[in-house]
Amino acid sequence: MHQSTRVAARWIEAVLLVAVALVFVFPFLWMFLTAFKTMPEVYQFPPTWLPETWQFANFETAWSSGPFLRYVINSVLVAIGVLIIQLLTAVPAAYAFARYRFRGRNFLFGLALIALMIPPQVIFLPIYVELSHMGLINTLWSLVLPYGASAFGIFLLRQAFMQVPDEVIEAARLDSASEWKIMWRVMVPMAKPVLVTFGLFSFIYHWNDYFWPLIMTNSDEVRTLPVGITMLKAAEGGKQWNVIMAGNMMLVLPILAIFFFAQRHIMKAFVYQSK
Amino acid sequence: MQKAVVANSANAPLLQQEVAVKAGRLTKVRPYLYVLPALLFFSAFFFIPILYIIYLSVFDWSLLNLEEMEWVGWQNYADLLSDADFHQVLLNTMLFTVATVVLGIGLSFLLALWLNQKRKLVAVVQASVFSPHIISLVSVSMLWMWLMDPQYGLLNALLEFIGLPAYTWLADTKSALLSLVLVSVWKVVGYNTIVFIAGLQSIPKDLYEAAALDRSTRWQTLRRITIPMLSPTLFFLLITNTISSFQVFDTISIMTQGGPVNSTNMLVYYIYEQGMDYYNGGLASAASVILLGLVGLLTVFHFWTMRKRVHYR
Amino acid sequence: MKKWNMSALACVVGLTALLTGCGSDKAATGGNAAAGSGQQSGTEQAQPVQIDFWYALGGKNGELIESMVKEFNDTHKDIVVKPAYQGDYYQNHAKVLAAISAGNQPDVTMVEVGSIGAFAEAKALEDLQPYAADTIDRYIPGLLGNSYWKDKLYAIPFNRSTPLLYLNRDMLKAAGLDPNGPKSWEELHEYAQKLTKSEGGKTSVYGFSTPIDIWFYEALVIESGGSILSEDGKQLAINSEAGKAPLEFWTNMIKEGVMKAPPGEKYNAWDVAKQDFVNQKVGMIFTSTGDLKGLSESAKFDVGAAFMPANKEYGAPTGGANLVILAKSPDAEKKAAWEFVKWMTDTPQSIKWSTQTGYMPVTKEAVESEEMKKYYETAPNFEVAVKQLEYAKARPMVPAYKEVQEIIMTELQRAVLNQATADEALQNAVDKSNKLLK
């Protein structure tokens, strides 16, 4: 009796768990299903679950309605460019904060803290004016440079560097390695898990970003994928949800694929901020 | 981040002798040199823009004629604060933020208590709940706009299926803001949940063992141990969720464009509209400064509470 | 370790090259002053002048623009036009504005006719009088109303439209109504009642639908014998009989359940109206003549187009966009830009554009051409807008109107959504707008 209620409770919990998961996953499934339907089927009510015939043509329509290859390349260039510059600025700064004592250290560290909290959306106007004075509007630089220093990256790396045992560095110094070498050759490899974590976080954030490229770009040569996809709105006879959803799959699938393989890392990357 | 700050840098292992041995000029400037690149970026794209926006907010200007800025003092602020539309924008931002934060944190707290288990199925559910968080808001917005389509959308089909009347979603002033809240909560709940679970797992087990010995009820354990021990996490989420709610833009821009009748117009979108659509650079800057002030206040509050490291009871 | 550093360096250098590659490419096309002056001193073998052209039409209409630009480039070896789609009119305007301040504005762009005044007043546009002295007469005078600002010519008509009443003729016939559609507001109301189908309190088909858009409101105000602005353009004149009539007309039909106000802001509402029409969920809608081709092709029924029904009189605002040249462009680009504008709006192109979209031809020659006349015989819907032009007026174009029209639209929506009475909403609009119009 007792045993059987426990089993029942376990089953009920399992069903509820699946229900919760569906609330978050099913919308993506709906995106997927819509992307394969025909226009008349999309505008059918109540809707059909599975497409009557699977329309791969929607992907073709979406892909050919703009220079999507260019958008993808730009998105990748920006996300990777940001990451490289962030690492080049964050590694030395984190090393200094973690390993040196110098006048004004806490003050400078505090400045970085503030930068962590205030989102760039709040100050896009002056940055726009500034970048336009530099003649950088509508270049990929305008998407990369404002994110060149990552306070979050500095934090993560500083923590990782602080955990490296002193002996390791002492040994390196006795080998008369230069500080620069120690930083890149000894410290960075030891912080590898953190680097992966930060890399995933940064890449996903910039791959997904819409606001910044919307403001800063005005030609296809430098547009990124999220902006390109919002241009999919077709004029004739209402919104082509099937094509729009097909376009969005291009934006969503790579991230879901990465997530599938690096779930633990990614969840750690995003949650790290809270620690 | 609390721990990083709290742990503070005082105990960072320093190699005093080594420093002394190599005490040359380079050693003295080296830390500054290392910090410099990051600092330059922060200055150029963070500190200078902050000062610049404050400066811009006391002029009447537009992107069309930056050369002809006209000093107007506090006029932009006075205009904003006396404008009924701006009041509505502030109110919308507040309502949206409070609703998103309360729902987002409340739901995820419950989920975290439930999902804090080491089972395969639960791990999958955790990942599922988390997945919206890493998806672009562009896709999330378009997807939900489609789901919420009043005529052909899946949500109304489901409502109809279970015998409820169709809902207006984004089409009505009464429901549009709530619909945006729903989307934001859906997107953030997974993140909050995982953060809470991490917090739960860092609570020392012996506290619970002691509670069990005391024959505490589940509710007592929750109230006396779990919630106080989670308070830093809770605070972190409160602040970050609030700040990110303040800057909502993508969903508005794609789903509602501030409508119907300004019922979903919020600060960042308002700034965008004034600055980019209506040529009112001055008003846009003043609104930015106000937003900056709000975020700044929260940040200061955040640091202050972290410094005190209070466990709220 | 050296190796690691080297590869990192290579990576950075490579990236830099890629990023600047795109950047400098843009600089060359974005109206770089140095490049411009170099061109002037150059000889005939100089490189072709590159100009940027921004447009704001998606879908098939956008594809047609791209193909016309390609044709221009193929036939003009000394000029290369680079077209770029910037989203709808709102987005395009915002982009142009921002780009002017950044100095990478296009050389030619479409500007919605109601915003020409705002752009001209801000000195963003090139005065076209010196260029157009001998070509201006070719355009239909009724379409030049939004081309001048303070007696200077700033814009050339391109994709020009008027609003029309679109009809699902099959549906009208089935209901025993005249397939040519209603001629007056009363008839429109009556038709809407007869076309509406509801069962058990649920409406499956609405007789009529229109986005609560400023453009249609302007039409209905004109039809009621009024105008949006006072004569001097310094006051909003809609808190009047003529301003109230349209709003009451709409709200009455909505309350009665025979008209649907499509949800969504700005062009989202248009999308819904068109999608409802194509899916036969509504029998009649207001939309632009520029949708004729697209809607006729998407719809599986007989699509009809008719004059906007009359209240006191027929009437409609003209609409669509004009082509403008930006004042900040270097001289060489301006000259090339003018060649492009002239070509795009010339008779052969105008005929092609009109017959493949539904927008009106912009030259007198085009309207009178045999080709057009023959086309009108087979597709009479396409002539409706041209005929309606007789009753059409230019849109208001004082600089503040760009913002004022948003205010009016918000207040109209407020009334339609039952949050304010017509009087309150209109008074609100007047109070807010008059501050801006001063």
Give C234-279 pLDDT, tens digit per residue: 999 999 999 999 999 999 999 999 999 998 888 889 989 998 999 8
Residue pair B155/A27 in contact (Cβ under 8 Å)? The answer is no
Predicted confidence band at C92 (pLDDT cuts at 50, 70, 90)? very high
Record the tokens describing residue A115, joined without a space: 């930068």
Mode of pairing for the β-strands spanning C202-209 and C259-260: parallel
Of B2-16, C89-103, C350-364, minimum mean pLDDT range: B2-16
Tell me the percentage of chain C whose pLDDT exceeds 70: 89
Nearest CB neighbour to B276, from listed C98, C263, C406: C98
Residue pair C205/C175 in contact (Cβ under 8 Å)? The answer is no
Are A89 and B131 in contact (CB < 8 Å)?
Answer: no
Are A136 and C62 in contact (CB < 8 Å)?
Answer: no
Does A54 lie in the same domain as A72? Answer: no
User: Is A134 a domain residue?
Assistant: yes
pLDDT at C213: 95
pLDDT at C16: 47
A196 versus A275: the higher-pLDDT residue is A196
Quickly count: other Cβ atoms within 10 Å of residue A38's Cβ: 16
pLDDT at C60: 85
- Subunits with 3+ C-beta pairs closer than 8 A to C: A, B
**pLDDT one-digit tens code per residue, A189-232:** 999 988 988 998 899 999 999 999 999 998 889 999 999 998 88
Record the tokens describing residue A194, joined without a space: 């953190």
Name every residue whose Cβ is closer than 8 Å to that of residue A173 and which is 6 or more positions away in sequence.
A182, B15, B18
Res C41 pLDDT > 80: no
Q: CB distance from C295 to chain A under 8 Å?
A: yes
For residue A229, what is the nearest residue in chain C, using CA coordinates? C87
**What is the distance between the alpha carbons of residues A250 and A246, in angstroms, rounded to a whole number?**
7
* Cα R_g (chain C), whole angstroms: 24
Nearest CB neighbour to C23, from listed A80, A140, A233: A140
Does A217 lie in the same domain as A153? Answer: yes
Does A218 lie in the same domain as A99? Answer: yes
The CA distances from residue B115 to A22, C73, C322, in Å, are: 15, 62, 59
Predicted confidence band at A179 (pLDDT cuts at 50, 70, 90)? confident
Res C18 pLDDT > 60: no
Does A92 lie in the same domain as A6? Answer: no
Closest of C254, C306, C303 to residue C278, by C-alpha: C303
For the question of whether the overall pTM of this predicted structure is more than 0.90, the answer is no
Mode of pairing for the β-strands spanning C303-306 and C163-168: antiparallel
User: Is A271 a domain residue?
Assistant: no
Beta bridge partners of C54: C84, C109
Predicted confidence band at A1 (pLDDT cuts at 50, 70, 90)? low
**What is the distance between the alpha carbons of residues B219 and B206, in angstroms, rounded to a whole number?**
18
Q: CB distance from C5 to chain A under 8 Å?
A: yes
Nearest CB neighbour to A238, from listed C12, C30, C275: C275
Task: Please give the DSSP secondary-structure letter assigned to residue B313.
Answer: -
Say which residue the tokens 């549009």 belong to: B176
Nearest CB neighbour to C100, from listed B63, B256, B257: B63
**pLDDT one-digit tens code per residue, C138-163:** 999 999 999 999 999 999 999 999 99
Amino acid type, C361: P
Q: How many CA atoms lie within 13 A of C353 on its CB side?
A: 28
Does A176 lie in the same domain as A51? Answer: no
Q: CB distance from B257 to chain A under 8 Å?
A: no
Record the tokens describing residue C117, joined without a space: 């005044």
Predicted confidence band at A166 (pLDDT cuts at 50, 70, 90)? confident
Res B287 pLDDT > 60: yes
Give me chain A's average pLDDT, please. Answer: 89
Residue A105's domain comprises 67-231
- Subunits with 3+ C-beta pairs closer than 8 A to B: A, C
Which chain B residues touch A24 with a CB distance below 8 Å? Answer: 128-129, 131-132, 186, 189-190
Which chain B residues touch A259 with a CB distance below 8 Å? Answer: 127, 131, 134
Mean pLDDT value of segment A84-89? 96
Q: Which CATH superfamily is domain C47-160+320-377 in?
A: Periplasmic binding protein-like II (3.40.190.10)
Record the tokens describing residue A103, joined without a space: 């006048």
**What is the distance between the alpha carbons of residues B35 and B15, in angstroms, rounded to a whole number?**
19
DSSP H or E stretch at residue B140 = helix B137-147
Q: Is C319 helix (H, G, I), strand (E, B) or coil?
A: strand
Which chain A residues touch B13 with a CB distance below 8 Å? Answer: 99, 162, 166
**pLDDT one-digit tens code per residue, C401-416:** 988 999 999 999 999 9
Which of C100, C271, C359 best probes binding to A when mutated, by most A CB atoms within 10 angstroms?
A: C271
Name every residue whose Cβ is closer than 8 Å to that of residue B61 and which is 6 or more positions away in sequence.
B68, B69, B70, B281, B282
Nearest CB neighbour to C266, from listed B66, B257, B279: B257
Which chain A residues touch B299 with a CB distance below 8 Å? Answer: 114, 117-118
Q: Which residues of A233-254 are buried (b: 16+ CB within 10 A; e: fewer)?
A: bbbbbbbbbbbbbbbbbbbbeb
Are A210 and B56 in contact (CB < 8 Å)?
Answer: no
Query: What sign does the CA torsion over A82, A88, A94, A97 have?
Result: negative
B301 versus C7: the higher-pLDDT residue is B301
Closest of C6, C41, C55, C145 to residue C344, by C-alpha: C55
B57-308 — its CATH code?
A: 1.10.3720.10
Say which residue the tokens 């927008």 belong to: C359
Name every residue whose Cβ is closer than 8 Å to that of residue A54 and which is 6 or more positions away in sequence.
A36
Give me chain C's average pLDDT, please. Answer: 88
Does A102 lie in the same domain as A77? Answer: yes
Res A118 pLDDT > 60: yes
User: Is A89 a domain residue?
Assistant: yes
Fold matches, C47-160+320-377 and C163-317+400-437: yes
pLDDT at B133: 93
Which chain A residues touch C277 with a CB distance below 8 Å? Answer: 237
Phi/psi of residue B210, each to 5°? -60, -40
Q: How many CA atoms lie within 13 A of A205 on its CB side?
A: 19
Residue ranges of domains in chain C: 47-160+320-377, 163-317+400-437
Give me chain B's average pLDDT, please. Answer: 87
Q: CB distance from B10 to chain A under 8 Å?
A: no
**What is the distance between the alpha carbons of residues A74 and A144, in angstroms, rounded to a whole number?**
11
pLDDT at A235: 52
**What is the distance between the alpha carbons of residues C156 and C148, in angstroms, rounded to a whole number?**
9
Beta bridge partners of C163: C288
Task: Give the distance from residue B62's alpha carbon to the nearest chain C alpha carbon, in angstroms.
Answer: 9
Amino acid type, A198: F
Predicted confidence band at B308 (pLDDT cuts at 50, 70, 90)? low
Are B9 and A241 in contact (CB < 8 Å)?
Answer: no
**pLDDT one-digit tens code per residue, B107-166:** 999 999 999 998 999 999 999 999 999 999 999 999 999 999 988 899 999 999 999 998
Residue pair C160/C389 in contact (Cβ under 8 Å)? The answer is no
For residue A239, what is the nearest residue in chain C, using CA coordinates? C271
Record the tokens describing residue A62, joined without a space: 């979406």
Residue pair C376/C383 in contact (Cβ under 8 Å)? The answer is yes
Are C402 and B66 in contact (CB < 8 Å)?
Answer: no
A residues 32..91 contacting B (CB < 8 A): 34, 42-47, 85, 88-90
pLDDT at C13: 44
Quickly count: other Cβ atoms within 10 Å of residue B22's Cβ: 13
Does A132 lie in the same domain as A13? Answer: no
Q: Which residues of A77-96 are buried (b: 16+ CB within 10 A; e: fewer)?
A: bbbbbbbbbbbbbbbbbbbb
Predicted confidence band at B22 (pLDDT cuts at 50, 70, 90)? low
Q: How many CA atoms lie within 13 A of C9 on its CB side?
A: 6
Does A109 lie in the same domain as A139? Answer: yes
**What is the distance between the alpha carbons of residues A246 and A263, in angstroms, rounded to a whole number?**
24
Query: What sign does the CA torsion over A132, B71, B265, C117 have?
Result: negative
C163-317+400-437 — its CATH code?
A: 3.40.190.10
Record the tokens describing residue B48, joined without a space: 């200078």
Calculate the CA dihedral of residues B42, B44, B45, B50 and round it to 10 degrees. Answer: 100
**pLDDT one-digit tens code per residue, C382-400:** 999 999 999 999 999 999 9
Residue ranges of domains in chain B: 57-308
**What is the distance between the alpha carbons of residues B72 and C328, in angstroms, rounded to a whole number?**
27
CATH number at residue A75: 1.10.3720.10
The total domain count for chain A is 2
Long-range contacts of C195-203 (CB under 8 A, 24+ apart): C195/C171, C195/C258, C195/C283, C195/C284, C196/C257, C196/C258, C196/C283, C198/C257, C203/C257, C203/C260
Which chain A residues touch B65 with a CB distance below 8 Å? Answer: none
User: Is A171 a domain residue?
Assistant: yes
Give me the count of residues in chain C: 438
